[in-house]
Structure formats: C-alpha cells, structure tokens
Structure 1
Amino acid sequence: MIDLYRRNDGPPQPLPAVAYTKDGFSRTDLANQPDSRRELGFVLFGSYDPRTQVVVKRGDGYAIVPIDQAGDPDPADIPKLIDAERDRRIDLGITFAGKFFQTADLDRERIDRSRISAMAALMNGVQEGDLRWHGLPVDFFWIAADNSRVPMDAQTMVAFGNAVAAREGVMIVAGNDLKRRIAAGETIPDITGNSLWPA
C-alpha cells in the first residue's frame, strides 16, 4: 500500500523525496517526519494499492476506486490523470536480473546515489566481481522486494541504476505521447490500459 497526501488542495500523490518550504529550505524523509509534513502542508488523503486501485477526480474532490470503476474523467483533468498513472507505474517496481525491486520516489533516489558511487568506483579502476567497491569491509548488496539481499559489484549497480532510470524515462515518454494524442483530438477511453504503457 502507498500513502497519498494532498498539499495545498492539490491532487493526492505519494510524498516526494524532497520538498521545499516557502523560504527555499529542503525537507527530506517526509514519511518519518510529521512536523515537516505539517510545516509543508501535506495532509494524509488515504492509502491505496497501485496494482488494483487508482485515484479519480469526483466533482471538487478525489476518490480511491478500483481501476475497473474509474469511469470517464473530465477532459480538463486528463493531463493530471495521465501524470498520476505514469507515476503509479513508475512506482510499481522493476525486475532486474531475475529479482523484483521497489522503485518508489525514495527508492529511485537511493538507487541513483549508489549508481553514481559505482560509476566513480569504476573510474577509479575497481574490478568486476569486487563486492567491496563501496569502500566498506562488507559486501555490497541491494535489498529486493522479497527482502532478499542481492550482491552487486559496481558494474551491476550501474546497470541496475541505468535500468531503473531507463524505465522511468520510457514511462515519461509514454505519458507525453498520450497527452499529444489527446491534444490532437484522439479519444482514449481508458488511459490506464496496459496496452498504452510500456510493460
């Protein structure tokens, strides 16, 4: 389940990895910082399962409903709904090297940081198969969605990070394609259809 929050009466969305105050100060780890959430105006909307549910606009508000009960959206809301579906799919996770990994906002931020560190290690000449490329006296691993530990050398970490970034990129392009098709006059009855999005 993913917790959704509204900020300043905006649409329900997962908490971002980083948010900023009016004065430009950053706040992170919002899921564990209730004071920061209050300061920034995040209000809990509800929890949903992105595999089976979707957020829809109903009048002046929003509701969490089963995907097959989403109904026809207001045309003016379609771009935001496409963004929400794009983000839902990005957050669903990715299979890499036969294991399934989580890819919510904070997960992707951590993956990218480790990918950058791995790239630096490669530039410094770390060898393939070296699981201690990160400079600590323990083997490097990434925790999969099933809580298993997957060892990764620097080369694998870079490939993993690149795969996650590439998947996010193709989802962004797919969402943009949908917006362009709709702006050109095409009617797409269900923007959540699997055939419209990369697997």
Structure 2
Amino acid sequence: MSNEIRLHGRGGQGTVLAAGILAQALAEEGKWAIAIPTFGFERRGAPVSAFLRVDDRPIRSLTNIYHPDVIVCIDQTLGRAVNIFAGMAPGATLVLASRKSPAELDLPPTARRLGLVDAVSIAMELFKRPITNSVMLGALARTTGMVSLESLARAMEGSHFRDAGLAQNLEAIRRGYDETEVLDLKESCHAYA
C-alpha cells in the first residue's frame, strides 16, 4: 500500500501540523510515513501545502508530491486562489471542507471518491475560530480508511496539544469522522453513487 497525500490550507490553520500528526498516526499503525512541508509565503492566510507519503516499505523519496492519490483541502475558500486539483492522479480521493452539496462543487472528472464535511462550523463551535485541521484529520480517516481514530488520538496526545486544547482537538477529530459524508463518484458526469 503506497499513497501520496497533498494537504492544502492557509497559513495559521495547522496544515503542516496536521500532516505531521497524520504521519505519526500512520507510524503508530506500523506503516512508513513521512510528512514534507512547504510554505511559500510564510504569513497567516497565505496558501500552504504539506505532503505526506505512506507505504508498507521504507520511503526513500523526500520530494514534493506532484500526482497525489489523496487531496485534503482544509480551507473552503482556497480553491479560488489555488488549483488544489493540479496533478491529481486518476482515481484520486478528495477530502474537502465545504458546506456545499456535491452537486454544487466543480470536481475534476477523474476523482473517484469524495469526503465532504462542514469543518468550519464544527471548528467555530469547538474553538470559536475556523481552525479546521483536526476536523479534517477525522474526515480523512472516514473517507479513506487509511488510519484509525485511535491512532490519530495517540498522535495528537503526543503532539504539542498535551496541555492546551487536547480534549477539544480530540473531539474535533471525532466529529470530523462522524459528520463526513462519503460519496463514490461514477465515471461520467460525476453522478453520485
């Protein structure tokens, strides 16, 4: 099992942190994983990407990911500023923070699986700020099945959340998992299965 994941967000939303937590959670499950951050403009609100490779064997490649199998977008406005689907592998899985219905989204025709969650509403309820990274980790777990909630929780407990906000972030992961709508997309016209 080899997967390449690209996460998109904005500076200050914890995109890079989410990739690191996900890599740790995957390692907890005995997989090889490496998170590769990239920043561009290092300021709050600027587009940020993080990359993650996961495999059953040791990983040698440390480059950016250009043809991801999974794309996670933790900011629902980012698609207007960045082509988050650039280079997407055929048959890719998309995990999107969005209030829109699947029919309202302009999705690439090669996407085969879609996970949607209203991450901002969950984050505003839990954190009073639109910080959606923890919510989206739960959404990724639900959509792909590649990592368990238990492993995500252990990785979160080992991160810098130990003292402040751990309970809220664990709740955000759980709610992201529980409230994600997962759809398998058909080959043509993106009619939904």
* TM score, norm. by length of structure 2: 0.36
* TM score, norm. by length of structure 1: 0.35
Say which structure is richer in helix: 1
